[in-house]
């Protein structure tokens, strides 16, 4: 096939991160449609906007059910299912804990134990009532808060790729602040495969420590190297344990998950971070078409069996 000489990269800031969309043909209308879609999602899901649908649900906690859009209902429904499936590490009701710690949002103090225990009491999944007929959500306890931050970008990436496909676009790179989803064949390489860099934990953003060659998949990383604070030499990062209320303690710097669905990859990157390289890799090995890369505090790399070494620092997936 003829290799095109151009790619068309659009970047804009939204939802507190940089959005990058790479196409291989000039399709301004499609780019504007993605921008409009993400603006709509921000109006629905932002916890930093008082007028968002998610804020309305949280503000009505303990008072009444709130009717939401189909998109909002769908993502909350998915997030609750994942929370039940992975209760030890993923809980969509972690909002009160996130706001208490404020890690990445100016927080520099360890909360008191009683304050943490108080927030943990607001994370009971049985206290959420969904009505599929009315598309309504009711948080039964005052003070409960949904936080979709650990899953939302994956949902958006999946929807954007579907949107691009419906517009007749056959190849694209969607990058939502480090959540990467690929569409179709890579028109710039002879073998039509993609090369995706995996962020090096100790380096500034944009410096890949590893590279993966693959067909069109999604790549999502959970790590502790960007959002944290230190007190008395101890680092407190933003991946909070829904069982204890404190940042999870282990020897991992980050986990990168490679699979087909970005929403699932977001969840798995958090869950496998909790599990660590051995148990995390065992979970991933059970899932078809899914791989993971674990990097520990000593920068030792562990990969699942489908990631084959090509040369130093480079792996490939069939």
In a domain, 249, yes or no: yes
Domain annotation covers residue 184: no
CA contacts within 13 A on the Cβ side of 260: 5
Q: Is 133 marked as a binding-site residue?
A: no
Cα-Cα end-to-end distance for the chain: 21
Q: What is the pLDDT of residue 198?
A: 93
Query: Which residues span the domain enclosing 79?
Result: 57-139
Residue 280 covered by a domain: yes
Question: Long-range contacts of range 173-176, CB-CB < 8 Å, 24 or more positions apart?
Answer: 173/20, 173/21, 173/22, 174/20, 174/21, 175/19, 175/20, 175/21, 175/22, 176/17, 176/19
Do 126 and 198 sit in the same domain of this protein?
no
pLDDT tens-digit map of 133-175 = 999 999 999 999 999 999 999 999 999 999 999 999 999 999 9
The reply to whether 74 falls in a domain is: yes
Report percent pLDDT > 70 for the chain. 98
Residues 120 and 237 reside in one and the same domain: no
270 is in an annotated binding site: yes
CA–CA distance, 281 with 165 (Å, rounded to integer): 32
Q: What is the CATH number of the domain that holds 290?
A: 3.10.520.10
Please indicate, yes or no, whether residues 132 and 197 belong to a single structural domain of this protein. no
Question: Does residue 228 belong to any structural domain of this protein?
Answer: yes
For 275-289, what is each residue's pLDDT tens digit? Answer: 999 999 999 999 999
- Could you tell me if residue 215 is inside a domain? yes
Q: How many domains does the chain have?
A: 2
Mean pLDDT of 7-13: 95
């Amino acid at each position: 096939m003829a290799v095109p000489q151009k790619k068309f990269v659009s970047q804009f800031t939204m939802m507190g991160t940089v959005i990058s969309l790479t196409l291989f043909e000039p399709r301004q209308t499609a780019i504007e449609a993605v921008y409009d879609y993400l603006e709509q999602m921000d109006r629905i899901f932002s916890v930093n906007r008082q007028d968002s649908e998610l804020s309305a649900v949280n503000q009505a906690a303990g008072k009444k059910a709130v009717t939401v859009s189909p998109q909002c209902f769908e993502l909350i429904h998915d997030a609750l299912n994942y929370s039940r499936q992975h209760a030890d590490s993923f809980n969509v009701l972690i909002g009160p804990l996130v706001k208490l710690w404020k890690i990445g949002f100016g927080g520099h103090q360890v909360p008191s134990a009683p304050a943490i225990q108080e927030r943990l009491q607001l994370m009971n999944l049985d206290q959420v009532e969904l009505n599929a007929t009315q598309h309504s959500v009711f948080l039964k306890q005052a003070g409960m808060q949904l936080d979709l931050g650990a899953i939302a970008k994956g949902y958006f990436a999946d929807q954007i790729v579907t949107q691009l496909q419906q517009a007749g676009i056959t190849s694209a790179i969607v990058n939502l602040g480090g959540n990467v989803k690929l569409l179709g064949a890579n028109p710039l390489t002879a073998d039509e495969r993609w090369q995706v860099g995996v962020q090096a934990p100790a380096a500034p953003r944009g410096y890949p420590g590893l590279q993966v060659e693959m067909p069109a998949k999604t790549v999502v990383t959970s790590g502790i190297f960007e959002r944290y604070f230190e007190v008395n030499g101890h680092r407190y990062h933003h991946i909070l344990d829904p069982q204890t209320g404190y940042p999870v303690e282990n020897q991992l710097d980050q986990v990168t998950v490679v699979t087909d669905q970005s929403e699932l990859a977001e969840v798995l990157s958090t869950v496998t971070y909790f599990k660590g390289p051995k148990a995390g890799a065992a979970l991933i090995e059970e899932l078809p078409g899914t791989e993971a890369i674990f990097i520990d505090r000593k920068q030792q790399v562990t990969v699942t069996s489908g990631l084959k070494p090509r040369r130093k620092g480079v792996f490939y997936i069939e």
